Amino acid sequence: MSKFTISLHGRGAEINVHSITEEQKEKLEHLDLENCIFEDVTDILEMGDNFSLVGSDEIYIGAYPEHSRITVTDENQEVVYSEEVENLTLNEIISESSTYKEIYQKNKLYVNDYIKGTFFELVIEDESFDIKNLELHFSDVEGSELITSISYKDSELDFGDYWSKGIVYFLSNE
């Protein structure tokens, strides 16, 4: 048996979801969400502090398929496989067990923290690495597609190391 580390890295998002009232939604629609500051949004949502915007009970973290890569290294840290996710999905190379979930909700504010780095890592033990056993789990959050999980033969993933690149807001479409 050999040990392999599978990592998903690149650019993505950490999307915090906040429930809002119709009145709050109307106020947010009149606010220039592209150029506002935290205080503008937290005042409308009547939050006590600015940090409440980047922390919620409903969070989606993942990589944008068009800006990410799967890299597999062996126990000697040598790269045995590396490919852009977009190529994997276009060529249908990944497992047929990959999933796609749509998330469209009513009266929600999405706080999208653009992030960069390694999102997920899996350490597996197997005779060899086979890309056809890799499952990618996608979530479409109001039109923003993310890979929110990966798995390989029922292995468990760990979160990697990523950092913020800037925050934007968007409202639910419904």
Q: Would you write out the chain's pLDDT as a tens digit for each of its 174 residues?
A: 899 999 999 999 999 999 999 999 999 999 888 888 888 898 998 887 767 777 788 999 999 999 999 999 999 999 999 999 988 877 777 778 888 899 998 999 999 999 999 999 999 999 999 988 999 999 999 989 999 999 998 787 778 888 788 888 888 876
CA distance 151 to 135: 5
The maximal CA–CA distance of the chain, rounded, in angstroms, is 59
Would you give the distance in Å from CA 11 to the centre of its chain? 9
DSSP 88: H
Q: At residue 163, what is the residue type?
A: W
Element (H, E) at 13: strand 2-19
Are 169 and 27 in contact by the 8 Å Cβ rule? The answer is: no
